[in-house]
């Protein structure tokens, strides 16, 4: 093993790797377990149990971990930029290559499948391909954030807290325009970059937060969630439903900043213990970090294949979260995993120690 690889492994923050892998796997588990998928004349349709049982929306205050991933990414980016000697532009170019290159085979396969479906006028299949590709919004937004970071790097360096406050204020102003009808149509989706960029930059402040401050952030974040959803205009659910008039995720609203504050505080409170456990179980954490992105990239391919197979076999997929639907949830972990497993292992590449840091870094 080269000295460079030894140095990379020595200086890796395994605790941060653990948080990032945890966030990714929770997202994947949510998609597999809590998606109500049916197939009609126009193709697949998806929903989740919260649409039928709104009180379950409070569970998303725990299970919606997308802010955690952007927080951790912002922390890693801030540390990486602080020690990068080639300039912020070179840093962004290198990071973009690491994000985009692993996704090229999947994007090519999805594009080919979509064009093939369109050629043979199989609109239902084309709709299924689009549905499988939908979770890639995260990758697209993350790429956009990395491209924008050089533009805000100067402000982040001079006003580390102030620039996050300014971004958060801009998110609130955008929501005000949305709820008053001034921001409509495609302009609504500007918040996709605004909200997640704010969360990403908030993550850059992690090293400034100790345990005591962490508990304060948890309190402030939960208070913001409570006020925003009980008194304010935001739905309780931190994921989209078919029953809420607006969605906190599509496009994202500023209430997610309250969730991000809560999760940043929890990371600060638990970070020391998680880091200790991560070093104690280093092989497991490194393996989880290595497989996190491949699992994310290919998990919906496995899920979509199982939906198509079940429909072709004449299985009547429940359109509501009945007891039969809940009873089959374990099958919707095992099935997609079995289908996606070869693609995940291929995408992860060889399991050599030197490959781990390159694959795991965001």
Extents of the domains making up the chain = 3-360
What integer pLDDT is reported at residue 355 of this predicted model? 41
Report the distance separating Cα 204 and Cα 75, nearest Å.
4
Residue 227 CA to its chain's centroid (Å) = 25
Report the distance separating Cα 122 and Cα 116, nearest Å.
8
Residue 44 CA to its chain's centroid (Å) = 23
Report the distance separating Cα 287 and Cα 159, nearest Å.
37
What integer pLDDT is reported at residue 147 of this predicted model? 94
What is the DSSP annotation of 108-169? HHHHHHHHHHHHTT-HHHHHHHHHHHGGGHHHHHHHHHHHHHHHHHHHHHH-TTHHHHHHHH
Report the distance separating Cα 140 and Cα 317, nearest Å.
31
Asked whether 333 and 306 are in contact (CB, 8 A), the reply is no
What integer pLDDT is reported at residue 128 of this predicted model? 92
What integer pLDDT is reported at residue 358 of this predicted model? 38
- Measured in degrees and rounded to the nearest 5, phi and psi for residue 205 equal -95, 5
What integer pLDDT is reported at residue 349 of this predicted model? 81
pLDDT, averaged per 10 consecutive residues of the chain (362 residues), comes to 39 89 93 93 90 94 95 93 78 91 95 95 91 93 94 92 97 94 89 96 96 96 96 94 90 97 98 96 93 94 94 90 93 96 90 43 44
């Amino acid at each position: 093993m080269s000295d460079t690889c030894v140095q990379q492994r020595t200086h890796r923050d395994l605790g941060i790797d653990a948080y990032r892998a945890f966030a990714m796997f929770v997202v994947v588990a949510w998609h597999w377990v809590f998606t109500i998928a049916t197939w009609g004349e126009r193709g697949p349709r998806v929903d989740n149990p919260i649409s039928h049982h709104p009180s379950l929306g409070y569970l998303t205050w725990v299970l919606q971990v997308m802010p955690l991933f952007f927080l951790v990414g912002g922390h890693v980016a801030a540390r990486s930029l602080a020690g990068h000697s080639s300039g912020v532009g070179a840093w962004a170019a290198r990071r973009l290559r690491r994000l985009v290159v692993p996704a090229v085979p999947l994007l090519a396969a999805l594009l080919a499948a979509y064009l093939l479906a369109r050629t043979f006028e199989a609109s239902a299949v084309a709709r299924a391909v689009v549905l499988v590709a939908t979770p890639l919004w995260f990758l697209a937004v993350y790429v956009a954030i990395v491209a924008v970071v050089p533009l805000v790097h100067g402000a982040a360096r001079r006003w580390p807290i102030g620039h996050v406050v300014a971004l958060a204020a801009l998110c609130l102003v955008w929501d005000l325009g949305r709820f008053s009808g001034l921001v409509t149509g495609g302009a609504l989706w500007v918040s996709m970059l605004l909200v997640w960029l704010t969360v990403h930059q908030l993550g850059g402040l992690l090293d400034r937060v100790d345990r005591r401050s962490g508990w304060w952030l948890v309190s402030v974040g939960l208070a913001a969630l409570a006020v925003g959803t009980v008194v304010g205009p935001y739905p309780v659910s931190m994921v989209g439903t078919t029953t809420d008039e607006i969605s906190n995720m599509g496009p994202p609203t500023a209430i997610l900043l309250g969730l991000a504050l809560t999760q940043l505080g929890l990371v600060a409170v638990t970070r020391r213990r998680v880091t200790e456990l991560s070093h104690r179980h280093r092989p497991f954490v490194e393996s989880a970090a290595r497989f996190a992105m491949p699992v994310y990239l290919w998990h919906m391919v496995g899920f979509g294949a199982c939906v198509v197979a079940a429909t072709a076999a004449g299985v009547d997929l429940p359109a509501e979260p009945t007891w039969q639907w809940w009873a089959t949830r374990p099958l919707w972990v095992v099935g997609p995993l079995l289908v996606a497993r070869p693609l995940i292992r291929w995408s992860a590449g060889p399991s050599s120690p030197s490959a781990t840091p390159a694959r795991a870094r965001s």
